[in-house]
Amino acid sequence: MVFLVLVLHLLGAAVWVGGHLVLSLTVLPGALRDRDPGPVLRFEKPFERIGIPALVVQVITGLWLADRYVPGILPALDFADRLHTIVAIKLLLLIATAITGAHARFWIIPRLTPQRMPALAVHVTVVTTMAVALLVLGVSVRYL
Ligand code: HEM
């Protein structure tokens, strides 16, 4: 069972982190250069269809995995040792990702104009950095 959950967690990570790296490093620079939101919007739409389910998989499998290390998960918020700290930071990054994502989806993207491209760039960079941090923290659980 742990094997299956870990495979799902890594598949979700591949989609979420990989998709955001492609967006940040290949799609966004061209769009910023041309001050054209089009390429980002064309990437976001189809990516959402697989990216959001991948994030949902990360939440379910991540909480399941975390519960094995810190039963009940919430006690991790005492930051008492390195394991608690990793789980707590992952939880906080998850909440920050959800808030940033909702802000982009309902505020930035509907009002996107060439002048507002920098706001979108900041958002994409923040979400990508948080995605990579979630991955690095996940790997570091085994290297405490
Ligand atoms: C986009 C979100 C996430 C990404 C990209 C991500 C990524 C990863 C990666 C790459 C690993 C390493 C797996 C391995 O060593 O085989 C991992 C492990 C882990 N993740 Fe996540 N994760 C995410 C969300 C979460 C959440 C929300 C939690 C819950 C607090 C969580 C808890 C864990 C735990 C406990 C492990 C250790 C599993 C083990 O080695 O037994 N993850 N994560």
> How many separate domains does the chain show?
1
Name residues contacting ligand 1 (CB within 6 A).
6, 9-10, 13, 16-17, 55, 58-59, 62-63, 65-66, 69, 87, 90-91, 94, 131, 134-135, 138-139, 141-142
Mutual orientation of helices 82-103 and 38-69 as an angle, nearest 10°? Answer: 150
Structural domain of residue 34, as residue ranges?
A: 2-143
Name the pTM for this structure: 0.94
Torsion sign, CA atoms 36, 40, 43, 44: negative
pLDDT in tens, 10-57: 999 999 999 999 999 999 999 999 999 899 999 998 999 999 999 999
Quickly state the pLDDT bin for 110 (edges 50, 70, 90): confident
